[in-house]
Structure 1
Amino acid sequence: MELPVLVGERIRNLRKAKGWTQEQLAEAATLHYSYIGGVERGDRNISLETLEKIINALNVPPTELFRFDDNSDEIRRAALDEILTMITSRKTGEIEMISKINKEIFNALDAKSNDS
């Protein structure tokens, strides 16, 4: 699969994880919604400046646009994307707190599975 198609699919997945329409992403990135549609389909050869606008609008690390999975588990990837979009905009202290809470949850789950 070509890079524009892969990047377009990641943008679509991250946009959907935020619960946004193409119009909402376009507005946040100061682009036209039909342009976002073309990017998501891989029809557009976008510039780095445009890519930066989309990254900033989605509020994700740039590397997230290049994280490609084999799509064997789309539900899992969608859930991970949703978690990423929820925590990315948080302050460092909040992320540390979320991490501690998650560790406690994982420890409890591990203990429960070891008891079974």
Structure 2
Amino acid sequence: MDKNNLKKHFFKSMISDCKDENKNIDKDNNELSFLSYIGSRIRIVRKSQNRTISYIADMAKISPKYLQGVEVGKRNISITNLNKIAKVLNIPISLLLCNEEVSDIAKNEKLLSIAMKLKDYSIEELENMDNIINDIRKIEE
């Protein structure tokens, strides 16, 4: 399986786990709350990647002032701009809309990175690595 197919499959499984998409939005489901929610998701992912507003805005070809307004929930955002930001952050747009923890996103990105490194190993080598991991877990218990 090539890298793009592996990544697509990986993110597809992540997205399918995103059932309660708008769980953190208040019960009235008002627009301001929704905008704040999306903005905070962008900010959390951006900061977890140690990126500045200026960098993301420049790469997405939007103004830093606009992005800052989006992050604090004071500016509306189009699907087009949300998609540009998601591409710069190298995540599916759905992860900005669903209730998956950002730490889970980072963990899943790390798992994908490890999986890509392991794809060329033989079954026997992978079984040996699995045994090593199991041994380490037993030691930790």
Q: If the length of structure 1 is used for normalisation, what is the TM-score?
A: 0.68
Q: Which residue of 1 aligns with 2:80?
A: 49
Give the alignment's Cα RMSD to 1 decimal: 3.1
Tell me, yes or no, if structure 1 residue 97 matches structure 2 residue 117: yes
1:64–1:78 distance in 2 versus 1, CA, 3 Å? closer
Q: Which has the larger radius of gyration?
A: 2
Unmatched 5+ stretches in structure 1: 70-76
More helix by share: 1
Q: Which of residues 40, 50, 57 in structure 2 aligns to 1:9?
A: 40
Q: Given residue 68 of structure 2, which amino acid in structure 1 is its aligned partner? A: G
Q: Which residue of 2 aligns with 1:112?
A: 139
Deviation digits for residues 58-82 of structure 1 (CA, Å, limit 9, x no counterpart):
110122112326xxxxxxx554444
Residue 18 of structure 1 and its aligned partner are, at CA, apart by 1.1
- Structure 1 segments, 4+ long, off by >6 Å, are none
Q: d(CA) in 1 for partners of 2:52 and 2:139?
A: 39
Alignment of structure 1 residues 51-66 onto 2, 5 Å: 51-66=82-97
Q: If the length of structure 2 is used for normalisation, what is the TM-score?
A: 0.57
Deviation digits for residues 6-45 of structure 1 (CA, Å, limit 9, x no counterpart):
1111100110111101111101111111111111111111
Unmatched 5+ stretches in structure 2: 1-24, 26-32
